[in-house]
Amino acid sequence: MTLPTPDTDTTRARQGLANSSPSARLRAALAVGTTPDPRFIDTLVERCAIEPEFSVREMLTWALTRHSASTTVPRLIDELRSERAQARSQALHTLSKIGDRRAWPAITRALLTDADDEVARSAWRAAVVLVPDGEGPELAAVLATQLGRGERETQLSLSRALIALGEVILPTLRAAMTDPDPRVRQHTIATERLWRDPDAGFVFAVEEARRVVALGRTSPQG
């Protein structure tokens, strides 16, 4: 009986992750994560960049988190320079799940303001996980430049990221409430409403913010 060689294992993993069946790719990613091997890291990262199925991408991320951060984090940071938006987005998502703050310097302003909404949203989530103590106000200031951006899901993602930073966001929000752009003011007021009352719900907060902006006020009380 001939035992599989390491090269055979890698080839099988590649073939499984490239299978035309999503369920087969899911099983392949599960298998790689169940028995972590640093030889599979490049294959997992490369697949993240092109995998069309959300559930498979989540399993790929899980498989990467099962490997040593000292090996995966540098590879994922390299991926942040990819021209492919999904590669950047998924690398950011995986870094947020790993939670290794050595990745923080790679979360650049360019990523936080990326033209692709999915990349930017992933960068916001990663940033609030990885931000070092004391750098929250500076991060809040960068995130605030994105207030008013996109549709409801994008705005909700930004609001959640800001709220996750805690009270340090309040001076930034107060300043943004006087922005000349009504979309920025509306999003800012909705974010402040959610910060004060997390149970209110974003839709309710947005509707209240619209009324406030229409009345020419800068807060629900003012």
pLDDT in tens, 105-119: 999 999 999 999 999
Q: What is the pLDDT of residue 206?
A: 59
Domains and CATH numbers, the chain: 1-130 (1.25.10.10), 136-222 (no CATH)
Residue % of the chain over a pLDDT of 70: 86
Q: What is the pLDDT of residues 43-90, one digit of tens each?
A: 999 999 999 999 999 999 999 999 999 999 999 999 999 999 999 999
Residue 121 makes CB contacts below 8 A (sequence gap 6+) with 89, 154, 157, 158
Q: Is the dihedral of CA 165, 171, 173, 175 positive or negative?
A: negative
Residue % of the chain over a pLDDT of 90: 79
Q: What is the pLDDT of residue 13?
A: 86
Q: What is the pLDDT of residues 172-198, one digit of tens each?
A: 999 999 999 999 999 999 999 889 888
Q: pTM of the full predicted structure? A: 0.87
* Residue 3 pLDDT greater than 50, yes or no: no
* Residue 5 pLDDT greater than 70, yes or no: no
What average pLDDT score do residues 134-146 get? 97
Q: What is the pLDDT of residue 11?
A: 83
DSSP state for residue 67 in the 8-state scheme: S
- Higher-pLDDT residue of 219 and 70 is 70
Q: Where residue 42 falls among pLDDT bands split at 50, 70, 90?
A: very high
Q: What is the pLDDT of residue 121?
A: 98
* Residue 166 pLDDT greater than 90, yes or no: yes
Residue 29 makes CB contacts below 8 A (sequence gap 6+) with 17, 44, 47, 56, 59, 60, 62, 63
* Residue 10 pLDDT greater than 60, yes or no: yes
Question: Which H or E element spans position 50?
Answer: none
Nearest Cα neighbor of 72 from 80, 82, 64 is 64
CA terminus-to-terminus distance, the chain: 80
Q: Could you count the other beta carbons within 10 Å of the beta carbon of residue 182?
A: 14
- Higher-pLDDT residue of 207 and 177 is 177
